[in-house]
Structure 1
Amino acid sequence: MVKYPTGSLTNYNADHTDLLKLNKHYHKKNIIFSDRGMSLEQQINESNKYYLTQNIAVVHKKPTPIQIVKVDYPKRSRAVIKEAYFRQASTTDYNGVYKGRYLDFEAKETRNRTAFPLKNFHEHQITHLDQCLQQNGICFTIIRFVSLNKYFITPASFIIKAWNDKAKKSLTLKEIEHNSYEIKSGFRPTLPYLDIVDKFIQDGK
């Protein structure tokens, strides 16, 4: 949520230089604090809302299928789920359509400052990404290094290759930097990941 000053500039008694300084001050604040307190999932969801309302792309978070076993009704107008379980293993976090191309991607965060553990991926996710790539889908992972405030769009092909190397337990930050595109968090959209998807399309990926 972006907050603006409550005063009106029309009532501000200042010269043009002061007005420019004031505008620059607030613009800078919006950039710095645009992602404060937001998880990676929230940032992506906000970006997807923007892309949808602007008729740019249709991308949604996949619902996780859950089997409800036990429900209590403490009040007639209220139900409380007491017991449930996942009906099946989830695949990836997001999918959708952009410029006639199918998108499928996963979102991952780590507080590690030097590497990304590959154990954060599950075998069924790797299999799913590989299957989507075989159907000419555009697949990738958005990786956020929380402590560094860095975001990377990493092609699924690179993740799959690394994950299949049983001797490899993690990807170093340097490896990710060399094999990914870094993006910056901002405002409208919060994470402009489609800018990198355009590069994938341009490169024929």
Structure 2
Amino acid sequence: MIINYPNGRKFVSNTTPSSEKQTKKISYSNRGMTFEEDLNETNQYYLTHGLAVIHKKPTPVQIVDVHYPKRSAAVIKEAYFKQASTTDYNGVYKGKYLDFEAKETQNSTSFPLKNFHEHQIEHMKNVLNHNGIAFVLLRFSKEDEIYLMRAADLITFWNRMLSGGRKSITKEEIKSLCISIPIGFQPRIDYLKAVDQLIEESL
């Protein structure tokens, strides 16, 4: 099956021999899970313990070529990952609607705004207009530091860029405005404690 990403590149299935896969798996486990996997594990912990219901939204796929070798079976031959129109995660916590995006960077001194898209900013504006709680989780990969930034602050930095200002958010600005989230064990990224602060601010 051929799957194409939004930029036109084709998804290539990994055909690495099983012995090499095993080696890669060991190497991968040594350097830890990805940001998305950590968040998904955290959300599963929240769900299992009855704390919140938060899920990652599936990436929309446009199917363009389907074969029917049998009447009862369809085989997708070609599909495209479409550009998501909203953010990555949403759910419910303490009766509040949560909507957020998770981004990371290899930079150590700033967070590039190119990591975000106009439709995501507009979506977060709409969530705020309906009294929902919107934010972004920012991860500095090299330092393994994670911060929660309120959507309102992100929108301010976005507007600064549109007005001709810098195209990134400095680390100093992030440290002064955002809520630091420590890395734990269970759950890995306990961001609900930071969300509690946002809820208090909204009262």
SS at match of 1:151: strand
Q: Which of 148, 152, 168 pairs up with 1:153?
A: 148
- 2:110 is the alignment partner of 1:115: yes
- C-alpha contact (below 8 Å) 1:114/1:173 kept by paired residues: yes
Structure 1 residues not aligned, in runs of 5+: 1-33
In 2, Cα distance between equivalents of 1:35 and 1:105: 29
The verdict on how the C-alpha distance between 1:198 and 1:74 changes in structure 2, with shifts beyond 3 A counting, is same
How much does 1:88 deviate? Answer: 5.4
Cα distance in 1 for residues equivalent to 2:112 and 2:82: 27
Cα distance change on mapping 1:80 and 1:38 into 2, 3 Å: farther
Relative distance call for 1:196 and 1:86 in structure 2 (3 A) is same
Pairs aligned (count): 172
CA offsets, 1:12-40, max 9 Å, x none? xxxxxxxxxxxxxxxxxxxxxx9942111
Q: Larger C-alpha radius of gyration, 1 or 2?
A: 1
Note the residue ranges of structure 2 that are not aligned, 5 or more in a row.
Answer: 1-28
Q: TM-score, normalised by structure 1?
A: 0.77
Which residue in the other structure is 2:136 paired with?
A: 141
- 2:174 paired residue among 173, 176, 197: 176
**CA separation of 1:62 and 1:35: change in aligned 2, threshold 3 A:** farther
Indicate the SS of the match to 1:59: strand
Which digits, 9 at most, give the CA deviation of each residue in 1:149-185, with x for residues without a partner? Answer: 1000010100011111222300011111111001111
Distance 1:188 1:143 in 2: 20
C-alpha deviation, 1:56, in angstroms: 0.5
CA shift digits 1:48-104 (9 cap, x unpaired): 0000000110000011221111246899xx976432124554310000000000000
RMSD (CA atoms)? 2.4
Distance between the aligned counterparts of 2:30 and 2:113, measured in 1?
25
Which residue is equivalent to 1:203? 201
Report the CA distance shift for 1:135/1:179 in structure 2 as closer, same or farther (over 3 A).
same
**TM-score (normalizing by structure 2):** 0.77
In percent, how many aligned pairs have the same letter?
Answer: 56
1:92–1:105 CA contact under 8 A, matched in 2: yes
Aligned AA (1:103): L
